[in-house]
Structure 1
């Protein structure tokens, strides 16, 4: 028992020690592989987990992470889906997690969708069930629009992009976002996540994801990560998908937390009336459901931006039911 406890302490210490910008010593829940490819005149490496079930049902689910995360936070979702026979593929997008952090990369949802398609083509996967959370929901939407014949079912979990923030919020320049990212240490990350993801609450188990968000803070190459984060923030704010929901043909499920109020640049809005209207996820999700023909909506009471962490049982039940139908 003492040996097991010591092993757990050693693993935990390694996980949250100072990381380089590729999270080289951070242990993901499943084996990590890589594909190498050229993009925008740069040689890049894309990390991914490819978990095969013991009893395959012939279907593949692809999980797309949010901006302040990477594939590791899908660990409980991966376990639940593989148990039901799904093959699960989880990429770290370029600029995130264990994947390359390019310099001067033009981040667009089209580019990230194309990178994801390159991974699937490399693995020989032609048809998928696609699940995206937060920023990953915007990538999943773009991917579905670009490759409609590849996606049989689409699940959007508290996706960003349910509204066009630039219509009501001031623009924050890449330079200002870069300066902000440079100052984002654990305390700042925890404060942001508590206020924006967990509706003012906090539990010890949330620490893992706040720590992982800033695990490379202090690394000599951290400014590269900070700039990539600033560029992806710009992508999220300036490239809305809300106007194209009506073009989605895949069977779609929306899952949102009833308490999610996430909205980009809401902190820059001076008018309290406008600020109060931003990030109203239940209403925004209902509007999106009306736009996506035949879509379903599950609102998880008492949860915020991360129902897969806050209310896993209710979240995974909705996902499993939808995928099985």
Structure 2
């Protein structure tokens, strides 16, 4: 097995000596989100037609379980000197490709071609009322790469997108040059000690239990530093879809997606991945108890991985700590894929 240097590169002491403020500052010390949805927040359509993405959106036909639909994606050319490399970004459960806006710009400026799909069931892609699983998402991503004529790419997955990144990399190792897992969720097999919940029961719970307040609370857990007003745009999009007639269907789809954490774990994928990998992100992620310990376990289990995390930063480092995060991400993605993961 290749030698792996698995460390947290930026210690608290180093951060303090560098004058960086990592002590979490929560919303009450800065911008405070409203207790109720703003009066100008209205419905958001099923395909989010009224939401403007940071780059032009294109569509690819897809079909699953005899249902036809489209997969939305952004294909962003380099704005800096092209380096001949490609990166595909996989978004989290409560976001779409739009959530990668700062990362798209940073990578494009560094010379990468950046492909950002909205998974089926999310964002501007079709909301197919079907059972969802990671292997289906991975196959859709591979189909998109083939559609675009891309033979090899780096894969970056954030949150639930980290689960998909692992499944994609394990399934298509010859396609994947680098794999980056950013604050991945699903770091344990939840079937152990937790009973199965009927999907219709779960869907009803989503339908009746989702409110502006519950969505807001969930999103605010993503940040350990001061809340910014622009973070509420993702709350607005998610809340707006609870106001449309097809919300019961969307709630059922969301229940299927949440169920992936239970019935489609990736904890058994990691050991089979020898692609050069990086476990990257905020070390103090409030979504997952013992996050630092569990993410270290991922890095230990992967065959060729490094770990690089930021104390005091939470689930969304691309928003909370963008300059350093993107510098590190670009450095890793620019490294030779045939070298040790620590060589970047």
Larger helix percent: 1
The answer on 1:237 being equivalent to 2:262 is yes
Post-superposition, which runs of at least 4 consecutive aligned residues in structure 1 deviate over 6 A? Answer: none
2:277 to 252, 263, 266: 252
Confirm or deny: 8 A CA contact 1:300 1:314 kept in the other structure: no
1:83 alignment counterpart: 109
- Kindly state the Cα deviation for residue 110 of structure 1 after the two structures are TM-superposed: 0.5
1:109 to 123, 128, 134: 134
Q: Show structure 2 runs of 5+ residues with no match.
A: 1-37, 336-344
Please say which of residues 202-211 and 312-321 is displaced more in the overlay. 202-211
The answer on 1:283 being equivalent to 2:308 is no
1:5 alignment counterpart: none
2:327 alignment counterpart: 317
2:145 alignment counterpart: 120
1:137 alignment counterpart: 162
2:314 to 304, 307, 311: 304
1:66 alignment counterpart: 92
Structure 2 CA distance for aligned equivalents of residues 142 and 322 of structure 1 = 20
Deviations 1:227-273 (A, max 9, x none): 1110011112221111221110110000132211324xxxxxxxxxx
Structure 1 CA distance for aligned equivalents of residues 267 and 93 of structure 2 = 18
Structure 2 CA distance for aligned equivalents of residues 124 and 181 of structure 1 = 39
Structure 1 CA distance for aligned equivalents of residues 282 and 191 of structure 2 = 23
Deviations 1:84-126 (A, max 9, x none): 11000000000000000012x1211111100111111111111
Structure 2 CA distance for aligned equivalents of residues 207 and 83 of structure 1 = 26
Q: Show structure 1 runs of 5+ residues with no match.
A: 1-12, 264-278
Confirm or deny: 8 A CA contact 1:198 1:305 kept in the other structure: yes
Please say which of residues 177-186 and 283-292 is displaced more in the overlay. 177-186
The answer on 1:42 being equivalent to 2:42 is no
- Kindly state the Cα deviation for residue 294 of structure 1 after the two structures are TM-superposed: 2.4
The answer on 1:156 being equivalent to 2:181 is yes
Relative contact order (alpha carbons < 8 A, sep ≥ 6): 1 or 2 greater?
Answer: 2
Local SS of the residue matching 1:213: helix
TM-score by length of 1: 0.86
2:124 alignment counterpart: 98
Local SS of the residue matching 1:177: helix
Q: Tell me the C-alpha RMSD between the 2 structures.
A: 1.9
The answer on 1:221 being equivalent to 2:221 is no
Confirm or deny: 8 A CA contact 2:89 2:155 kept in the other structure: yes
Local SS of the residue matching 1:57: coil
Q: Any residues of structure 2 matched to 1:20-59 within 5 Å, and which?
A: 20-54=45-79, 55-59=81-85
Confirm or deny: 8 A CA contact 1:257 1:281 kept in the other structure: no
